Structure 1
């Protein structure tokens, strides 16, 4: 084997170990980020404001081979002052609303609570 084989046995375990640490670090970071956003939303007051639904999008993840696909739904609302907010919503809400709908958006931080369309 010689010198090349010795290098492989000393370098490869280090690379695998660093990869493992990176994956664990990423998982911990995402978990902390999620808990932090959840806590921030819980501490925010529940608000209702007039808004217009300006865009909708769906993000499909997975579905390769035998894996199941998962779809996340997002809607962007624009308030009367021009500010916009994108919120994750359930599929039923996504399907019931159309771009251009105007009404009363109820939310808590970045958490979508509902949208009541104007009845005009």
Structure 2
């Protein structure tokens, strides 16, 4: 719980950034099950334009379904907090 509060506070202090990026991977993780309810967690890995850095963020299920590996656009984030992804339309 303390780690969560620390991360939340650190994210609040971080600047909001927008960088060109590309979706390079998608994955899910299931937690719980058995005698408790199972929960899906959805993750997207982005590669920034320089190609040197990759960042993985947990995202909502509806957005997970809308993004495809290879999509390019602008990644919006604050620290480790995912804020959104604006896909660039190809001509």
Under a length normalisation based on structure 2, what TM-score does the superposition of the two structures give? 0.94
* Residue in 2 that maps onto 1:80: 49
Confirm or deny that 1:71 pairs with 2:51: no
Select the structure that is richer in helix. 1
Alpha-carbon deviations, 1:63-114, whole Å to 9, x = none? 113x111011110000012211000101111011011100000000111101
Query: Which consecutive residues of structure 1, in runs of 5 or more, have no partner in the other structure?
Result: 1-30
| Whole-angstrom CA distance in 1 between matches of 2:54 and 2:25 | 10
Alignment of 1:1-120 (within 5 A): 31-65=1-35, 67-82=36-51, 83-120=53-90
Select the structure that is richer in strand. 2
Query: Which consecutive residues of structure 2, in runs of 5 or more, have no partner in the other structure?
Result: none
Q: Highest relative contact order (Cα 8 Å, sep 6+), 1 or 2?
A: 2
* Residue in 2 that maps onto 1:6: none
Aligned length: 89
4+ residue segments displaced more than 6 Å: none
CA RMSD of aligned residues (A): 0.8
- For residue 62 of structure 1, report the CA deviation from its aligned partner: 1.2
- For residue 44 of structure 1, report the CA deviation from its aligned partner: 0.4
| Whole-angstrom CA distance in 2 between matches of 1:93 and 1:108 | 18
Q: Secondary structure at the match of 1:76?
A: strand
| Whole-angstrom CA distance in 2 between matches of 1:86 and 1:52 | 12
